[in-house]
Amino acid sequence: MKTVWDYIKTEKGIRILRMCGNDGRPAVPEEIDGCPVTEIGPYAFSAARLPRRFQVEPDQVRHHVTGQSLFEETAESMNGSRLKEIRLPASVTVIGDYGFYGCGNLEKIVFTDRLKRIGSGAFMGCSGVRKLEILESGTGSSSLYQMLSELRYALEVRMVCGTKVRELVVPEYYEASVENIPARILELHFQGTGYRYRQCFRSGTIAYRDYDELFRLAESQEPAQVLAELAYLRLKYPDELSGEARTGYLNWFSAHVKEAGEYFLERDDVEAVRLIAEAGGFDGMEKLSDKSAGYTETRKEVADGAGDFYMASLGESVLGETEAPEEEQLEAGVGQPRQALEVLLEMAGRMGRTEMVGCLMDYRHRKAGGGKKKKTFDL
């Protein structure tokens, strides 16, 4: 796809002024005309009008073309809501003031730990960003901390250093100015744990112990979906994960099997459920109400396949709508402590998640010792 980059040369390299083309997920070139691309200029990807103080004389602007097109294309500025993703090379060390201002549909930012400075308001109005990916070289820079400080929304962070990959979740937060009338001042209050999670850095690297200690606070302030993903990723990538923190994450899954189950089942994330089950996250007990256990005043028709098979094994009807008598609900243990694994199995069956049911039943079988070879004796 043909792309035109407007740029100027500086003492340190190339400064990108504007991009024209139809690729909503561009990768900024690492070098142009043998010079490294070191800077994303002010308002480079913003649809806002460029202030006079940042304007450059037309005769200084140069153009660089990348990609090819079989058909002639209209070169429109790739800015504002048209931008979906941006990939910055290792040569880029500076993002100018308001570089991505107003890019409301920007979803993902890929950058490196060689990024040294992010200008004022560089990502203001980028409310759609949900994913960050940083390519690390082990320099211990503060580029990730700077990027997180610019974005207050819930983010999935992926860190790649050679062949090693780590992922974690950083919750969102809101700032609220509260007037203190007696003192005649405005106090800044933070709502949500996202601000505290963004402070879990030491010398430019993530302090995992501080990160894990915030989970207890997050339990009282964050939605179950965020907690489920946060706990799962820490179990999947257990860098500096203490035994106490690991136990805390696993206990949360057992105590909130319904909320976590709904989150992973809706995404059909078999890998996550398998990892949590193998780690013992669904080995505990949970007390459920009638509705949370899946019981309602009438029985609803459920999906066929493995779901029907498992529900039938529980002695439940899968067709029609017949009332569940109170005696039957009591016999089924509604409102009583139940094995978290059984609750999750029942939910997977009701939702018709065939692969998930198979995965959980296999784990239950192996956990019960069904996978052990039976002893035989010769007479």
Q: Nearest Cα to 48, choosing from 132, 130, 122, 147?
A: 122
357 burial (CB, 10 Å; 0-12 / 13-18 / 19+) is buried
Q: CA gyration radius for the chain?
A: 27
Report d(CA 85, CA 92) in Å as an integer. 16
pLDDT of residue 10: 94
pTM: 0.82
Asked if 99 contacts 45 with a C-beta cutoff of 8 angstroms, the reply is: yes
Give me the tens of pLDDT residue by residue for the chain, a chain 379 residues long. Answer: 789 999 999 999 999 999 999 899 999 999 999 999 999 999 999 999 999 999 999 999 999 998 876 455 556 788 899 999 999 999 999 999 999 999 999 999 999 999 999 999 999 999 999 999 999 987 777 899 999 999 999 999 999 999 999 999 999 998 877 777 787 777 767 789 999 999 999 988 899 999 999 999 999 999 999 999 999 999 999 999 999 999 999 999 999 999 999 999 999 999 999 999 999 998 877 654 444 444 343 334 444 454 554 444 444 444 444 445 555 554 544 555 578 888 899 999 999 999 999 999 999 888 887 555 555 656 5
Measured between its terminal Cα atoms, the distance across the chain in Å is 77
The stretches of the chain forming alpha helices (DSSP H) are: 143-150, 194-197, 208-213, 215-219, 224-236, 243-255, 257-267, 270-278, 306-313, 326-332, 340-350, 354-367
CA neighbours closer than 13 Å in the CB half-sphere of residue 12: 10
Q: Nearest Cα to 265, choosing from 297, 236, 224, 300?
A: 224
Task: Quote the DSSP letter at residue 69.
Answer: -
pLDDT of residue 335: 52
Residue count of the chain? 379
Q: Which residues of 209-226 are buried (b: 16+ CB within 10 A; e: fewer)?
A: eebbbbbeebbebbeebb
Distances in Å between the alpha carbon of 284 and those of 56, 134, 219, 339? Answer: 65, 36, 18, 6
| Fold classified for 1-163 | 3.80.10
Asked if 78 contacts 24 with a C-beta cutoff of 8 angstroms, the reply is: yes
Q: Which amino acid is at 57?
A: E
**3-state DSSP call for residue 151?**
coil
Domain-wise residue ranges, the chain: 1-163, 171-222, 224-369
Report d(CA 147, CA 294) in Å as an integer. 42
**3-state DSSP call for residue 273?**
helix
Report d(CA 175, CA 199) in Å as an integer. 15
What angle is formed at CA 282 by the lines to CA 281 and CA 288, rounded to 5 degrees? Answer: 125
